[in-house]
Structure 1
């Protein structure tokens, strides 16, 4: 790993050969330019100790705006990072945030596109591809602010979105907040407000589209890793995204569920809006059969890792046996292979459960409090 500064040289281009090692795997703009090279001042602080930015509103009155960090993990898709950063810049959100881009071992032009679009950005590069969870964890550990917004590189801001998210963190119980996320393919909402229930031995998720179109905030089952604001201190206390689920899927569900077990909450904020090109990165790298197998494996691992309710676990065992036999008889090996893949990680699951603190909220309380109208906030 290396830490590099961008040097003066070729206008508009920033080849790796023009960067100098400094320390670890952190890349920052040239000294004296941007957040990393700028001498930090104490600045204004809110009552919570969080950094605030002073800006002039439309009436010329000075108002305090809370700052945050925005972490964007990426691998090779430099054009997606550029588009994401440009959308943040176009709507003024990059001006009030520390931008941290985590390059997960790309061989493409991530640095060039990042700094061409956002010269103040901090770039952290992994020597090799470690996966989504590790990239997010690296970015979170590097972030400077208590509130961190995680964005996939295929997410685009369509307007200002930070203020509605950040306002919720005045409540110390809040772990994370989801914005309203629209699918780029058809413009429909999806992924912001999520319900869940144990069904046939696994946790079945439901995107609450109709509810998400109503005004009003609500509890949601989990914070979507594609776009969410999260308390950095709580995230780190939970150990971040669990690499048990590598290379992708279920890390965000697992993290949020463990947050609920600690007594924290996850909210949905419909006034904050983003667009997501779902699967633009994963779908380009893996075939459908592999994606389906990983998804099925991680749904199984989630139950083993988190569920404590004995009735749920008994139902899980019975259904897994039935589904395994049924799939074999039909000649469909996707689920049997997923179950065998999960079994190879059972030792890792056991070690995590042994070190977990006792939950303060039960499985039934978590699923009950985040389902339907029980989750509506006044």
Structure 2
């Protein structure tokens, strides 16, 4: 099985080119697709200096992470797709070992890597839980190889055909955050498996681009909005939805007391997208194989 590496980039070209040069020795034998999300920083010329074989795509206007990756994936010609964010550095070519999981188990949707954050925190294995009416996502304490609740969108390998059959990343989450959690949850509801492999390590300078071009308040607002989109679109268990709606006023008040105004603003932003969310909700309900309660019971135990 062969791999296509997809590198989405938005501005911050110095960081991106530096990481591309460091990663090149490990990914030069893969099909490499770079998609520039309207950075307007003449990244194409810098990329071609590294290799003329790199497939370079450039959006005329900013489309966000999800739509950019989906566009790049449509150009891929291999069985597997590896996604690397512009702030990720490979340590070696150990990602090749992930191929064995796809070859031996057709239920494997994707494999997530161990990320070494800038303060040496280790992440990559995750859990999801439904607590007090809200979906919560956290890193797992146990970083042993095995199942994970969601794949890290900036350092993972997925089957291209499964990715495309699920419609790729949902563009409702633009410009960023929750796309990978949403994709992973949909994969689980379709009966696929998600694996975490700590033997594949990368360095990750988290929010090095997002934090440079978006304020902390904007980032929190978008994240809260997307958490509502995720819940309204993907949670079909009536008991859980009822609990979510009944506790929502209390959660709003609680967040206001904590001066988390972004929670309420994110809620308003999500309500504006309700017609689109409902349409997608109906589609997901029609296609699901595994029930919410069964998934949440399992993925909340990845500690």
Normalising by the residue count of structure 2, what TM-score does the alignment of the two structures yield? 0.94
Matches within 5 A, 1:234-245: 234-245=162-173
> Closer, same or farther in 2 for the Cα pair 1:207/1:332, shift >3 Å?
closer
Q: Is the 8 A contact 1:180 1:274 kept in 2?
A: yes
Is 1:306 the counterpart of 2:240? The answer is no
Deviation digits for residues 104-160 of structure 1 (CA, Å, limit 9, x no counterpart): 112103112212223321101111111111111111111111100011011001112
Q: Is the 8 A contact 1:164 1:269 kept in 2?
A: no
Q: Indicate the residue corresponding to 1:148 in structure 2.
A: 81
Unaligned runs of 5+ residues in structure 1 are 1-65
Q: Indicate the residue corresponding to 1:85 in structure 2.
A: 20
Is 1:275 the counterpart of 2:200? The answer is no
Deviation digits for residues 239-289 of structure 1 (CA, Å, limit 9, x no counterpart): 111111111100110011011111111110111111111001110110011
Q: Is the 8 A contact 1:324 1:335 kept in 2?
A: yes
SS of 2:122's equivalent in the other structure is coil
SS of 1:142's equivalent in the other structure is coil
Relative contact order higher in (CA < 8 Å, ≥ 6 apart): 2
Q: Is the 8 A contact 1:300 1:339 kept in 2?
A: yes
Deviation digits for residues 147-204 of structure 1 (CA, Å, limit 9, x no counterpart): 0001101100111222222221111111111011110x212211x1001110121111
Deviation digits for residues 304-324 of structure 1 (CA, Å, limit 9, x no counterpart): 010011221111112211122
Q: Indicate the residue corresponding to 2:125 in structure 1.
A: 193
Unaligned runs of 5+ residues in structure 2 are none
Deviation digits for residues 177-235 of structure 1 (CA, Å, limit 9, x no counterpart): 1011110x212211x10011101211111212x411x4xx2110111111110111111
SS of 1:164's equivalent in the other structure is helix
Q: Which residue of the other structure, out of 133, 139, 154, is the alignment partner of 1:207?
A: 139
RMSD between aligned residues? 1.7
Matches within 5 A, 1:297-376: 297-328=225-256, 332-356=260-284, 357-372=286-301
Q: 1:224 and 1:314 mapped to 2: Cα distance?
A: 30
Q: Indicate the residue corresponding to 1:122 in structure 2.
A: 55
User: How many residues are paired up?
Assistant: 301
Q: 1:332 and 1:299 mapped to 2: Cα distance?
A: 15
Q: Which residue of the other structure, out of 36, 42, 45, is the alignment partner of 1:112?
A: 45
Q: 1:226 and 1:329 mapped to 2: Cα distance?
A: 34
Cα distance, 1:365 vs structure 2: 1.5
Normalising by the residue count of structure 1, what TM-score does the alignment of the two structures yield? 0.76
Is 1:248 the counterpart of 2:176? The answer is yes
Q: Indicate the residue corresponding to 1:166 in structure 2.
A: 99
Q: Indicate the residue corresponding to 1:226 in structure 2.
A: 154
Is 1:181 the counterpart of 2:115? The answer is yes
Q: 2:255 and 2:168 mapped to 1: Cα distance?
A: 34
Deviation digits for residues 40-98 of structure 1 (CA, Å, limit 9, x no counterpart): xxxxxxxxxxxxxxxxxxxxxxxxxx4210000001222222222222223xx223200
Deviation digits for residues 15-63 of structure 1 (CA, Å, limit 9, x no counterpart): xxxxxxxxxxxxxxxxxxxxxxxxxxxxxxxxxxxxxxxxxxxxxxxxx
Range 364-373 or range 286-295, more displaced: 364-373
Q: 2:37 and 2:262 mapped to 1: Cα distance?
A: 28
Higher Rg of the two aligned structures? 1
Structure with the higher helix share, 1 or 2? 2
Q: 1:354 and 1:239 mapped to 2: Cα distance?
A: 15
Q: 2:72 and 2:99 mapped to 1: Cα distance?
A: 19
